[in-house]
Amino acid sequence: MPNTRTFPRMLLHAGKTLVTTVCVWLDSDFRRASAPDPKDLPEVLNWQRTLPFIFLHLGCLAVIWVGASPIPVAAAVFLYLIRMFAITGFYHRYFSHRSFKTTRTCQFLFAVLGNSSMQRGALWWAATHRHHHKHSDEETDMHSPRVHGFLWSHIGWLTSMKNFPTAYKNIPDLSRYPELVFLNRYDQTVPFAYGLLMWGLGVLLENRFPAAGVTAGQFFVWTFFVSTTVLLHGTLFINSLAHLWGSRRYQTDDDSRNSLLLAFITLGEGWHNNHHRYPHSVRQGFHWWEMDPTYYGLKLLSWTGLIWDLRPVPMAVMEESRAASPNHPENA
């Protein structure tokens, strides 16, 4: 047993460790100024940030006890679609590639909506994705299936401390907005608030509309756990499957591929080979028969004036596509 002199020191050390752990959990940029370069961090499991993902997946098992009914399932599907649009249209096409312009208020609101998907802050997402395009399927690409294998490229990379810090040097255009930096630093706040909101709506439905047959637990499980988990994996399939399975129209330097199935799951992100050929376009389905619901949604928003200057696919890229495909419908 520790003597009376060492016990207070041990207690003080334990207290400091607890405070540091809480600060790191709540503030993603805790001690960022003195932190080592991410490339010097070890490729090891970071339990502090892995536990929420484990909790999210285990929560889906609760459907065994709460069951299902039309309203929670429909709400889960709706929230999947609206939050997937926030990820694909704004986290990806706006924050990562600046494929259109919008107001400061609009970018903040969609950053909040995207953050509710438990895919961290828009700044971390954009910085990570820009690095991916710069080093796609190279040794330093943190989620390349060519380099790391399918499982790591799909979700393993999210568990590593090496990939946790935000590379603010990759996003100087975004890090000048303090409200976006705040969301990025405290990226657990919005998912927590989203969960409380879903529980509150469930309580409201259960107490005010009992004929609907919805319980608070059932609504919460479907709209928070199930919807968010499916959304997470739908997004991550672009990192993994979209570099392994599908067709290649363009001979890019990476393994990106086009897939109608993945485009369906991700509202148009499945045209990944198109995207890697010209990532700055607001549309990824370059041709009319390549469905791209995210682009359709952004086009509708442009008619309201909320976004503008949508960047098109250059004609040279379109001509390259036609030349590469003798049976191209537009060659008929």
pLDDT tens digits, residue range 244-260?
Answer: 999 999 999 999 999 99
pLDDT tens digits, residue range 164-214?
Answer: 889 999 999 999 999 999 999 999 999 999 999 999 999 999 999 999 999
Query: Once rounded to an integer, what is the mean pLDDT over residues 3-13?
Result: 59
Let me know the angle formed at the C-alpha of 325 by 320 and 329, rounded to the nearest 5 degrees.
105
Asked if residue 51 belongs to a domain, the reply is: no
102 forms bridges with which residues in the sheet? Answer: 307
Residue 158 has pLDDT above 80, yes or no: yes
What is the pTM for the complete model shown? 0.90
Asked if residue 133 belongs to a domain, the reply is: yes
Asked if residue 330 belongs to a domain, the reply is: no
Asked if residue 99 belongs to a domain, the reply is: yes
Asked if residue 213 belongs to a domain, the reply is: yes
Note down the domain range covering 107: 57-325
Number of domains in the chain: 1
Asked if residue 196 belongs to a domain, the reply is: yes
Asked if residue 36 belongs to a domain, the reply is: no
Please tell me whether residue 307 adopts helix, strand or coil conformation.
strand
Asked if residue 243 belongs to a domain, the reply is: yes
| pLDDT attached to residue 325 | 65
| pLDDT attached to residue 241 | 96
Instruction: Provide, rounded to the nearest whole percent, the portion of the chain with pLDDT above 70.
Output: 86
Residue 329 has pLDDT above 60, yes or no: no
Round to whole Å and give the CA distance between 197 and 201.
Answer: 6
Give the pLDDT band (50/70/90) at residue 332.
Answer: very low
Name which of 313, 319, 252, 247 is nearest 280 in CA terms. Answer: 313
